[in-house]
Amino acid sequence: MANVTRRNFIKLAASLGATLAWRSANVRAAGIQWRERREFYPQGVASADPHPDSVILWTRRPPVSDSLAKKLTVEIAEDSAFRKIVAVSKADLSPESDWTCRILAAGLKPRHEYWYRFTDEHGFGSRVGRTLTAPAYRDSQTVNFAFVSCQNMQQGAANAYRRMIWEDEQKAAGARLSFVLHLGDFVYEVVWYPEDRPKGYYSRSLRDLVRYESGEKIRDFHVPTTVEDYRALYRAYLLDPDLQDARARWPFVCMWDNHEFSWKGWQSQQNFDGVRPAQTRKVAANQAWFEYQPARVTRTNMFEDRFQTPAVTNVAIRDFDEHGLGLEPGNLKAINSLKLFRSFRYGQNVDLILTDNRSFRSEPVVDQPAFAAFQTGQFPFVVSQDVVEVLDAGRSYQGGQPPEVIRFNGRELPNPRRNSPSQTILGAAQKSWFLSQLRNSKAIWKLWGNSVGMLDWRLDFQNLPDDVGVKWPTTGYAMLSGDDWSGYRNERAEILEFVRRQGISGFASIAGDRHSFQAGTLAESLAPKSFRPVGVEFVTGSISAPGLFEAAEYNVTGSNPVRAIYVYQPAADSRPQAAINFSLMHGVRASLALQKTGDVQQALAQRNAELAPHLSFMDVGGHGYSVVRAGADELEVEFVCIPRPLQRSERVDGGPLRYRVAHRVSRWQNGAAPSLERQVIEGTLPLVV
């Protein structure tokens, strides 16, 4: 049986583009001379995608000065001194994979701590990495992990990782993190060269992080165009010492979001002042991701030791199927060259299901040319929920009875999508897989690694007093973002209806992308429609990328009549606060009253009780990370918020803490509604109440 198992792992390793390191029956001391020389491994080491019996290991050993390496030896041990080595293997290096190396370490013990290191044929060694395997499927112990997203290294620092490491080191072994879930925007392909924007970005200095050899300049920023450009981006990001230390301490489980390919990308297309075909860039982005992010992902060319680039050209997509999938052959080759959606089991408590929310999606309706007539220029960062619901659903709206016209700003405008199919984020094949994973899960908690948020974040601009001087153009709500699940409302409702109809309990979405900390319950609809929660969602703040409040602070000026909805400033010389948090949870009249009176209780007397019955927490200015503790009876998510990370902290703990707040939800029965409990653990919360 052991030989069969090993044979299966040999096939699995080949399918992952990895070399197998099989655990020996005998523990032994080191048999090679290892001398740590980190300068030969400039991007550090990493591990990823842990299973109970295996984990992927990674490093990069490029030519440095006159030193060229062609082969690496990996050692895996049960102790940090490498006196108890359990597996050894050798792997080749080549420029075709940009000198990266991946190893599948297998035959390991479940819920076990291991150390690993790489050594080249000259005896030059990498730093030592630490990794952990997943618990056995019947393990009932609490699962602890962190989730993060949105690390813009050009505009901020990775102090959140330093804080995460420091706090983990203080904990007892059983309470420490088992892995880090990264929900995307690991890199930001949009890069400003400092000379192109000498005043920086908001109050942030722009680091001269990377220069693209073949990149394209668009307005005042640059984007990658080749695989070498995308590789350069990863190489630059992985020089960060705090990110390196985090990857060396824990296995990462990674999903991409938009910036790994393109800011406004969908399928293999980009949008810079209009849609442009970018099949070659999508393939290049996929290749660089595969080379630099060890993961159990599916490639077109399985069993090849490196990424084989499909032949594509940049051709406009003319034809789409009923699910919005572009049928141009190069588009299909590009998006299928690397498939990231996958799932993990962590004991009895957790099934973690990851979806790719970018590669198979329809073009967002808010980015389509026909949406220009429905823009709300006087109201920053928002779109009309009523309009998006009609356009997103297309011909399926109201049971197949879409309106011929949409009333907007006192005019009857033609409905440009009344004969079009509804929009999708997941695409038909991935959605079928995802729903099957949910339906068949036996774990207590079905955790959806959902790179973009699902909680409704809306503003009741329809309730603005007349004396404000501007009027909202519809009778319904405004909503922030049409790029995440807020803009794909039909499919969002379909998924949540499926959860309710199937009687699936323990459903929780853990998300990123929004550059904010958010917690709440998920329902198919809110008031004035019915409100029946079927799950919960937790959104983590960004590692370093600027958030909505920071954008409002600098872009919504004092002359804007709705500034008080976004920014609260009790005195001209006082520090601005995030009124937008208050507005999202309590309504625009509450924020106007707060600016007028400076009294929170008087402001709350003006709150709109129907606005946000689902929200427990909202901080659109928060940075940091989140920690999940999934036990048999309770799910807890803790938000760890740090100050705006403009510069790297030299403190061992990563710098001061702004606040720590936890949300708990008890296990609920089929048909019951989940309920969140909030607890402030330390620090001062932002303007949220």
In-domain check, residue 75: yes
Neighbour count for residue 227 (Cβ, 10 Å) = 21
Give the whole-angstrom CA distance, residue 53 versus residue 49: 11
Instruction: Say if CB 196 and CB 220 are below 8 A apart.
Output: yes
In the 8-state DSSP scheme, what is residue 567?
E
- Give pLDDT tens digits for 637-676: 999 999 999 999 999 999 999 999 999 999 998 888 999 9
Highest mean pLDDT among 12-26, 29-43, 298-312, 342-356: 342-356
pLDDT at 167 over 80: yes
Q: Is the peptide bond before 528 cis (omega within 30 degrees of 0)?
A: yes
Torsions phi, psi for 140 (to 5 deg): -105, 5
DSSP, residue by residue, 571-583: STTSPPEEHHHHH
Instruction: Say if CB 582 and CB 591 are below 8 A apart.
Output: yes
Give the whole-angstrom CA distance, residue 225 versus residue 234: 14
B/e letters for 357-394, b = 16+ CB within 10 Å, e = fewer, are bbbbbbbbbbebeebeebebeebbbbbbbbbbbbbbbb
Q: Supply 455's token pair.
A: 């909680």
Q: For the chain, report the end-to-end CA distance as a whole number of angstroms.
A: 59
pLDDT at 91 over 90: yes
The pLDDT confidence band at residue 26, using thresholds 50, 70 and 90, is: confident
Listed residue (623, 618, 626) closest to 641, CA to CA: 623
In-domain check, residue 247: no
Query: What pLDDT score was predicted for residue 301?
Result: 76
- Give pLDDT tens digits for 109-125: 999 999 999 999 999 99
Tell me which residue has tokens 């307005």: 219
The pLDDT confidence band at residue 1, using thresholds 50, 70 and 90, is: very low
In the 8-state DSSP scheme, what is residue 387?
H
Helix axis angle, 227-237 to 279-292, nearest 10°: 40
Q: What share of the chain is helix, strand, coil (3-state, %, to 5)?
A: 25, 25, 45
- Give pLDDT tens digits for 353-386: 999 999 999 999 999 999 999 998 889 999 999 9
Give the whole-angstrom CA distance, residue 609 versus residue 586: 7
- Give pLDDT tens digits for 34-89: 999 999 999 999 999 999 999 999 999 999 999 999 999 999 999 999 999 999 99
Amino acid 558 reads: G
Beta carbons within 8 Å of 449's beta carbon, 6+ residues apart: 147, 181, 183, 253, 255, 352, 353, 354, 355, 510
In-domain check, residue 353: no
B/e letters for 513-550, b = 16+ CB within 10 Å, e = fewer, are bbbbbbbbbbbbebeeeeeebbbbbbbbbbbbbbbbbb
pLDDT at 337 over 50: yes
In-domain check, residue 498: no
For 109, counting Cβ atoms within 10 Å of its Cβ (0-12 exposed, 13-18 middle, 19+ buried), the class is middle
DSSP, residue by residue, 237-264: HTT-HHHHHHHHHSEEEE---STTT-TT
Give the whole-angstrom CA distance, residue 515 versus residue 483: 14
Instruction: Say if CB 438 and CB 507 are below 8 A apart.
Output: yes
Cα of 93 vs its chain's centroid, Å: 30
Amino acid 354 reads: L
Per the structure, the complete domain to which residue 108 belongs is given by 1-133
Number of domains in the chain: 1
Listed residue (444, 503, 447) closest to 632, CA to CA: 444
Query: What pLDDT score was predicted for residue 571?
Result: 81
The pLDDT confidence band at residue 285, using thresholds 50, 70 and 90, is: very high
- Give pLDDT tens digits for 382-419: 999 999 999 999 999 999 999 999 999 999 999 999 99
In-domain check, residue 390: no
The pLDDT confidence band at residue 432, using thresholds 50, 70 and 90, is: very high
Query: What pLDDT score was predicted for residue 2?
Result: 44
Average pLDDT over residues 610-628: 97
Instruction: Say if CB 357 and CB 425 are below 8 A apart.
Output: yes
In the 8-state DSSP scheme, what is residue 437?
H
Torsions phi, psi for 282 (to 5 deg): -60, -45
Tell me which residue has tokens 């799932």: 343
Instruction: Say if CB 564 and CB 534 are below 8 A apart.
Output: no
The pLDDT confidence band at residue 306, using thresholds 50, 70 and 90, is: confident
Query: What pLDDT score was predicted for residue 303?
Result: 67
The pLDDT confidence band at residue 624, using thresholds 50, 70 and 90, is: very high
pLDDT at 3 over 60: no
Amino acid 647 reads: Q
Sign of the dihedral defined by the CA atoms of residues 516, 285, 281, 63, in that order:
positive
Listed residue (556, 388, 548) closest to 474, CA to CA: 388
Instruction: Say if CB 261 and CB 186 are below 8 A apart.
Output: no
Tell me which residue has tokens 């395997």: 133
In-domain check, residue 304: no
Average pLDDT over residues 194-199: 95
Supply angle C-alpha 219, 224, 226, rounded to 5. Answer: 140
For the chain, what is the total number of helices (H) and then of strands (E)? 15, 37
In-domain check, residue 351: no
In the 8-state DSSP scheme, what is residue 538?
E
pLDDT at 4 over 70: no
Give the whole-angstrom CA distance, residue 262 versus residue 283: 12
Listed residue (360, 195, 198, 368) closest to 275, CA to CA: 368
In the 8-state DSSP scheme, what is residue 234?
H
| Threshold 0.95, pTM exceeds | yes
- Higher local confidence (pLDDT), 2 or 220: 220
CATH code of the domain covering residue 73: 2.60.40.380
Query: Cα-atom radius of gyration of the chain, to the nearest Å?
Result: 25
Give the whole-angstrom CA distance, residue 530 versus residue 260: 38
In-domain check, residue 97: yes
